Each structure stands twice: as C-alpha cells, then as structure tokens.
Structure 1
Amino acid sequence: MGAALSLNIAEKGFGIAVFNRTVATTHSFYENAGDLAQKITPCDTLESLVASIRPPRAIILMVPAGDPVDQQIAALRPLLDDDDLIIDAGNANFHDTNRRVAAAEDENHPFLGIGVSGGEEGARHGPAIMGGGSEASWQRVAPILEAIAADYEGAPCATWLGEAGTGHFVKTVHNGIEYADMQMIAEIYGVMRDGLAMQPAAIAEVFTRWNDGPLQSYLIEISGEVSRAVDPETGKPLLDVILDKAGQKGTGRWTAIEAQHLGAPIPSIEAAVAARNISARLAARKIGGDIYGEPSHDAESIDLDLLERALIAGKILCYAQGFDLLKAASDSFAWNLSLPDVARVWRAGCIIRSSMLNDMASAFTDEPDTNLMFASRFVSLLMENEASLRSLVAKAAAAALPVPALSSALSYFDMMRMQRGTANMIQAQRDFFGLHSFERLDREGSFHGPWAES
C-alpha cells in the first residue's frame, strides 16, 4: 500500500521522497513509476530521505502495526526538526496511537495517526482517510490527504475525526464491520451453494443483480466477480479450489475486545471473528464431519428474494452495532466523534463503501445519537425485511446451514426491542450465589432475595 499511496500522491502533483529498508525495492519502484518518476525522489537511507524533504517535513509511515512503528519513529526522530510531522498510516491499535501522540506532545513534536481503507487499489486511486491527532497537525497535510482521497459527489472521503487515536479506532471499527459484512455474504453464498445446489457462475449472476439494488456495495460487487472467476490451472471455478480457511490481521479481534471493554454489544462482528477462527480449525472440522456426517442441507424452501431481503436486514443491523460502538467510544473517551462524518468518509474508497452509507450519514444528521435501527429512514427498511431474516435463519438452522453472523443480527434485533428481557433471572442467580444484590421494578434501591436471610 505504501507504493500505491506514493504513486497516488505523485499523480496528484505533489513531490514525494520514498524510502524502503531494502534499497533494491526503492529503486525498482522508482524505475517502474513511468512518467510519475519526475515527482519521486528515491532515497537509500533515512538521512537522505529527511534531507530530500523541505521543512517543515511530513513523513508517512506505512509499516506493520506494533513494534515496527515504534522502531521507525525512534530511528527518524533524531534526524528531524521539532516541528516535523510523523504520520502513521498503518493499521495501528488506537491504544498505541494514544501513547505515541502523548509521547510526541510531551516532546513538542507533532504526530498523526490516520486510518486508510481501500486496499492497494484504493491507496493508488483514492482511499477513505480517517484522521486522528491534533486538528492543527491535520490541517497541515489536509490539502494533500484530501487530494488523494476518494471522491463522493465532489466531497473528499478524508476528514479529521478527533484527537489522539480516534482515526485509528474508527478504522478498527470499519474493519470489524467489514468482517461481519463479508461473513454475512459468505453465509448467503453458502446457502446458495449447499442449500440450493447453485454453481458459482449462477451465484455470480445473483450477486451482480443484487448490486443494482439496495445492497449495492463494493463487497457485493466483488463477490460477483470472484464467483465468476475461473482457475487458469484447472479450468474449475476459482471458488471451488480455494481452501476454506480465512485469514485475519487482528483488527476484527481488536474491535471485539474494545466492544467488551466499553460494554457495547456487537454480536454480529463477534460472530464473524469467531467464524474466521473456526474456519482455521481444519483438522477439528474434519473430525466433526467424520463423527456426525454431512447433513443433506435441503433448503428448497429458500428462494433468492428471501436471501436478498435477509441480507438487507442483516447489513443494517451490522452497521447499527458498529456505529453504536463508535458512539460508546466517543462518550467514554470524550472524543465528540461525529457519526455523520464517519458515514460520509466511508461512502467511497473504503472496503465497506455502499449505497446505504449516504442514507446513514443523513440519518445520523437528522437524528443525532440514535441507534441506526431506530432511525426513521431505516425503521421502514427493517420492518420490510426482518421477516425474511427470521425465516432464513430458521430455515438455515433446519437445513444445518451455519449462518452465525445473520443469526446474531436477528438476536440483536429481538433483544433490542424486548422491553422486558430475561436478565432479571441472571440478577437473581447472581444474588443467590454471591449476594450481588438487584434492583426492583416497584421501588428504588438495592435489594437481596430471601436466601440472604439464611
């Protein structure tokens, strides 16, 4: 992504110096830059990199999260002037960004942590950029970042979202939503493949058709493309030769961890993370199949319209959970995070870009601080499609077709509209074995059950 981002910056007319610790990589990048090479200065050392940039400098780091970032900052800082700005544009844990911002401020050095989404293609032609750190530091580089960002109807998908690690936290939640969105699509694919015995080419046509409707999004678009792809070595559909073991780099797990710390329910995202973990347990799944056998997966009662409507409902509920987590973090960390701004940044360039996000930005503008499932423009969509989600989850369960993220979305929906839940039983149990006390419906205060008297 660093190479792609550099070419994007050069293409927008900005001069840029580049450095990679492998000198041959730097020179290969420069030699293959074509006409853009005139805007690029290749550097063999950090010293030459710093010398090539006119003060006050801005240096973007694109290195793996964790210790490599700290090592690069430690190597750079002695070479820089006090007002030179370091920008971490990798997938950093926001706690690390908070620490780095605080350390930089203690030494009167500017530092930004920005989330960048869109993959290599987005980095090259226009990503979504989520800024965090001091607003003054953001403004220094905003003209460049806005120029290279994706464009949505004339508005750049790049903005400053808040202090310290805000940008990286928003990117983390973006990735958590991405996990759930991808998992739900995979579950729908599984129903079509195993329950309806559809071939990849037919599945591709379904995704392509859905991309012209309410589900229009980058992930639905590429799901059609990958379903249509053919393996050049075997001539088989590419999906049929790919190992069913999903990788992850940790951002989905970070989302789940932070949600637990903040007490924010994100069951669909947590289910997606768990599903990836289960996918990696190939040997255990083989044992399970050998012991219990493969079910028939008969799902003839499921039709494609039901699948589309169920996915619409699941998607809304997934985003509702993600935005609710952002609000919980904003309240907890006093970030004053603008949810409409987040939705607007995600409208183009990023992996989870979709036609729904423009409506989500409007919903949060019209009804600030509301859960998305209670926003008037999404209530009607949920009411139209909730029955389909319920029907799909029930029929998938009967056919032994796992749909963990969609099932979690449905349970979230049901619990969030259940005015009298079942936690009273849990509170009674807690008081029985640990005298933790409980509250009553009929009067205020803290109480114990009759077992406390014995």
Structure 2
Amino acid sequence: MTKSIGLIGIGVMGSNIALNFSEKGTSVHVFNQSEDKINTLKEKDSHGNITGSTDLENFMESLPKPRKILMLIPSGKPTFDMAKKVINYLEPNDILIDGGNAYYLDSNRLGSLCAEKEIDFIGMGVSGGEEGARNGPALMIGSEKSINNELKNSLSSIAARYENSLSVGFYKGYGTGHFIKMLHNGIEYAEMQIITEAYHILKRANYTNIEISEFFKEFSKQNRSSYLIEITSEILLKKNDSGYLLDQIQSTANHKGTGKLTVETSLNYGFPLPSVFEAFNARVESNYENLWSKNIDGQLIDISSESLNNAIYFARLATMIQGLLFIQHVSNKEQLDIDLKEVLQNWSAGCIIRSDLLNELGNAKLLNPVTTTSSIQDLLQNNLSDAKEVIKSCIDSGISIPVINSSYNWFVGTSSTFNPSALIQAQRDYFGAHQVQFKNSDEFIHLDWD
C-alpha cells in the first residue's frame, strides 16, 4: 500500500516537509485556501506525489482511512481552531499530528480533546528550520499510543540521519515531544548567547571579523563545533558594498517566546535553568541599551584564545547538562520514562543545536540520573579554571557575559560542600514564621527568635 499523509499548512516549513515526504515516496495531499499556493508547491514537486484541495471537506474525503493528518500552522489559537474543524470530520482511529511550535501543555489539552472522540493524537516537535524541513529535520514525537508502522516509516523517512541512526525520538505522552522541543529551544537560546558573549570578548580584544571567524573555525578542528558556531563563522565574513553585514545590524535581539516558556516551565517545576534564564534575559535587556544617561564602555581585553575556547566549551556543556537534568526531573515527576540517551540521539542531526558536544556526552556514558556520572563532572571540572580566568578578565574589563558567568556559578554552587541557604530559612522564619527544618529531621517548626 502506498504511504500517504494529509498536510494542513504550506508555509515555509509545511511546503518543505511536503517536498521531503514526496521525495521519500509518501503521497501528500495538502489543504490550503489558496489554489495558487497549492499549484506553486506542485510545480516544485519533481516526484509528482503532491495533490491539493482548497475545500476542507473534499480534503478530508480524499484521504485513505485511517486518515493521517499533519498540521503545520502557527501554534496556539490558530492550531486549536483548525484542530476543532478537522476533528468534526475525523473518525475513531484516525490520527491528528500537530507539528507546529506548540507549547507542550497545549498538546496535552489537544490530545485529551481528540481522545474524547477516540482519535489518536501526536504532538511532534520539528527542528531544523527551512533547510531541515526539506532535507531532514529532527523529529520529537509524543503520543499516548504506539504509532503504526506505516506512519512511523513515513515520519522516519524524512528525518535527518547521523551515521547509522535517525534523528527521531518517540516519547510517551501527548505533549512530551513538544516538551523536548521546548528544552531544545531553551538550550538554543543559551548557546546563541554564549557564542555572542565570545564575539563580544573578541571584539573588545580588537579582533577583526576575519580573525573572529577563524577563531570559531578552530572549534571544528578540535571536535568542539556546532551548527550555530559554524554559521557564526560564516555570518562574520558576509559583506555588501557598505562592509560587513553584521556590523550594520541593529544590536537588539527579539524572540518568539519559546525561551520564555522554557524559563516559566522550569520555575513552575522549581528547577534551576540559570543559563537559559540569563540567555532569555539578555535578549530582553538588549532592547534597553539606552537605559542610562552615561554609557560605560568596556576596556580592551587581553585573553588567550585557548582559555576562551575552553570557557565557551564549559558554558555550553553546563547548559546542556542543566537541560538534560530538567528533562530527567520532569520525566521522573510525570512518570514519562524519558531516556536521555535517546534525547541526545534525537538531537544529533537535523536540529539547530546539533553539535560535537552531544556526541561527547554520549561517549561519556551518560546515565540516568546524570549526576551519577562522574565523567560528566570531570568534563566540567577540567575546564573550570579557564572559565574562571575569562570571567575575571571580563569583570576587570567591564564586559558583561551573563551566560558564561551563570554557568560557572551554577556548577560551583551545586558542587560545593557548603550551602548557605540555611540563613534564608532562618530569616523567613524570623519575620514571617515560615518555619525551619533541622538537619536529619523531616519536621518543620517555628522557632522563638526573641
């Protein structure tokens, strides 16, 4: 039987995924209200596997049963509105897939809505951007039921590959795939900010764009590179008639909310993700650069490229460990049985945070829980002194590096033999009778401080 799928949404991501499916032999029937957009997509389809409809009812009737429908439309209200329309035409055992950039709790709600009508729901996080959608994205797939082989094969066929493995993860729970994707995006925020902080340091060290580009190219020679580091090296060299493009871009950074959602979710679970928080905060702060009447410009900095290289590695590794620990925490709390090694494999190709670092973590025999793996701690410890040197130099030179700094504080704070937070317990009990807990006791009591 010919593999088939229905696709709603033929924007940049939807169009490229449709072409990817067609190339891999899956018949794709798309729905869009614009016949011109459908025809434009069909013209790009050299394999002849794409058809389309401008009428939702005709679109639904054209699909073989059980129907498999992938939505790739803006998250939130647009997704819910379209899902409610689609559900009216679906029958038990049909499958609805949300491949948009959904918040994982929205996927849980949409999954429950589908379950009321015995419709199978899949929440699928997709990473890789336009290029990944066309040539092989990373897919993070969450469902309550096992996925039939035909659909599993269709989805696997379009995914990115690393060596002999596919960048596809299958997770328990409607929203788990989108939860993994959300953490991916949070780590992405932090990695981008770490690279930006290194760029800031090198600019203050009087490096040219060419020299900074060469600095980042060296990472690939040491198996420390990443997709984001590679594109940064290219960005630095791009020019037009007015000079380097990067030097002409306004120094503000915006966001679409996934970093904010990652931070909010970690706070809701009471779990620390300081690197992601500082990366998100740095984007917010970038829009308030004229806050003070007098600017304080950092001095020229003198720092070894080796120390900076190791500090970047340290901060990237700390960020990744924070993210994995949070995934592990939520998995344990919600009984999701997430295998962190599968997450690493899932992110190994196709996605924005793909890097040599993921392979090194796998080679370090990452275990559940992460904290039992001494080799992971050794990787951080071995680069700690260089991170400290870079931070000290930046303090002396008046250069802000919030993510590298917070990564250092996180590791030192969580590995210290002394935690001073007992004082905060005492303070809260003193002014608000919030109680304290003594060592080796499960009981909370209020003390008489008079």
Contact 2:128 2:352 in 1 (8 A): yes
Shift of residue 444, structure 1, vs aligned partner: 5.7
AA of the residue aligned to 2:444: S
Q: In 2, distance between residues paired with 1:428 and 1:412?
A: 23
Mapped contact 1:200–1:239 kept (Cα < 8 A): no
Q: Residue 392 of structure 1: which of 373, 390, 393 is its match?
A: 390
1:23 is matched with 35
Pairing partner for 1:410 from 408, 411, 419: 408
Displacement of 1:296 in angstroms is: 4.2
Q: For residues 374-402 of structure 1, what are the alpha-carbon distances to aligned partners after superposition, in whole Å with 9 as ceiling and x for unaligned?
A: 63333332222111111111111221111
One-letter amino acid matched to 2:71: L
- Equivalent residue in structure 1 for 2:137, among 118, 127, 134: 127
Name the CA distance, whole Å, in 1 between partners of 2:138 and 2:190: 19
Q: 1:16-71 CA distances to partner (integer Å, 9 max, x unpaired)?
A: 111223332222222233x13x1111222222322332211111100111011111
Q: Residue 88 and residue 442 in structure 1: after superposition, are their counterparts in 2 closer, same or farther (change >3 A)? A: closer
Structure 2 equivalent of residue 295 of structure 1: 297
Partner of 1:203: 212
Contact 1:112–1:138 under 8 Å retained in 2: no
Aligned twin of 2:58: 48
1:227 partnered with 2:236: yes
In 2, are the aligned partners of 1:115 and 1:168 still within 8 Å (CA)? yes
Quote the RMSD (CA, aligned, Å): 1.6
Question: What is the aligned partner in structure 1 of residue 422 from structure 2?
Answer: 424
Aligned equivalent of 1:252: 259
- Of 270, 275, 278, the residue aligned with 1:268 is 275
Once the two structures are TM-superposed, the CA of residue 446 in structure 1 deviates from its matched residue by 2.9
- Structure 1 residue 102 and structure 2 residue 109: aligned? no
Q: Give the structure 1 partner of residue 222 of structure 2.
A: 213
Match among 232, 243, 262 for residue 236 of structure 1: 243
- 1:160-213 per-residue CA deviation (whole Å, 9 max, x = no partner) reads 1111211000000000000001100000011111x2111212111111111222
Provide closer, same or farther for how the CA distance between residues 97 and 443 of structure 1 changes in structure 2, counting only shifts above 3 A.
closer
Aligned length: 438
Contact 1:85 1:137 (C-alpha < 8 Å) held by counterparts: no
- Cα distance change, pair 186–138 in 1 and its aligned pair in 2 (3 A): farther
Q: Distance in 1 between matches of 2:403 and 2:318?
A: 10
Once residues 298 and 227 of structure 2 are traced to their aligned partners in structure 1, the CA distance between those partners, rounded to angstroms, is 33
Instruction: Tell me if the contact between 2:87 and 2:114 (Cα under 8 Å) persists in the aligned partners.
Output: no
Alignment counterpart, residue 65 of structure 1, candidates 52, 62, 75? 75
CA contact (8 A) 2:324 2:340 kept: yes
Q: Which runs of 5+ in 2 are unaligned?
A: 1-12
Specify the SS of the correspondent of 2:146: helix
Q: Which residue of 1 aligns with 2:6?
A: none
* Partner SS for 2:345: helix
2:22 equivalent in structure 1: 10
Aligned 1:276-291 pairs, distance under 5 A: 276-281=283-288, 285-288=289-292, 291=293
Q: Name the SS of the counterpart of 1:76 in structure 2.
A: helix
Distance in 1, matches of 2:148 and 2:409, equals 41
Q: Relative to structure 2, which stretch is displaced further, 392-401 or 356-365?
A: 356-365
| 1:161 partnered with 2:171 | yes
Closer, same or farther: CA 295–60 of 1 in aligned 2, 3 Å = same
- Deviation string 1:341-378 (CA, Å, 9 cap, x unpaired) is 1111001110001112123235465x32123xx63333
Whichever residue aligns with residue 337 of structure 1, its letter is I
Q: Secondary structure at the match of 1:359?
A: helix
TM-score by length of 1: 0.93
Separation in structure 2 between the aligned mates of residue 24 and residue 308 of structure 1, nearest angstrom: 50
> 1:116 and 1:296, CA in 2 relative to 1: closer, same or farther beyond 3 A?
closer
Please state how far the C-alpha of 1:9 moved relative to its aligned partner. 0.5
Moved over 4 A (4+): 362-365
* Cα separation, 1, equivalents of 2:149 and 2:391: 48
- Correspondence list, 1:299-310, <5 A: 299-300=301-302, 302-310=303-311
Q: What CA distance in whole angstroms lies between the structure 2 residues aligned with 1:82 and 1:447?
A: 55
* Cα deviations by residue, 1:287-336 (Å, 9 ceiling, x for unpaired): 42xx2333242212x12111100001111100011011101111221111
Residue identity matched to 1:6? A
Equivalent residues of 2:91, 2:117 under 8 A apart: no
Q: Is residue 205–residue 301 contact of structure 2 (8 Å, CA) maintained in 1? A: yes
Structure with higher helix content: 1
Question: Is this contact kept in 2: 1:214–1:312, CA < 8 A?
Answer: no
Partner of residue 349, structure 1: 350
Post-superposition offset of 1:440: 2.1
Partners of 2:441 and 2:106 in 1: CA distance: 45
Counterpart in the other structure of 1:83: 93
CA 1:330–1:170 in 2, change beyond 3 Å: closer, same or farther? same
Q: 1:296 to 1:160 in 2, by over 3 A?
A: closer
Structure 2: how far apart are the matches of 1:93 and 1:295? Answer: 39
Percent identity of the aligned residues?
32
Residue 72 to residue 181, structure 1, CA distance change in 2 (3 Å): same
Inter-partner Cα distance in structure 2 for 1:59 and 1:443: 54
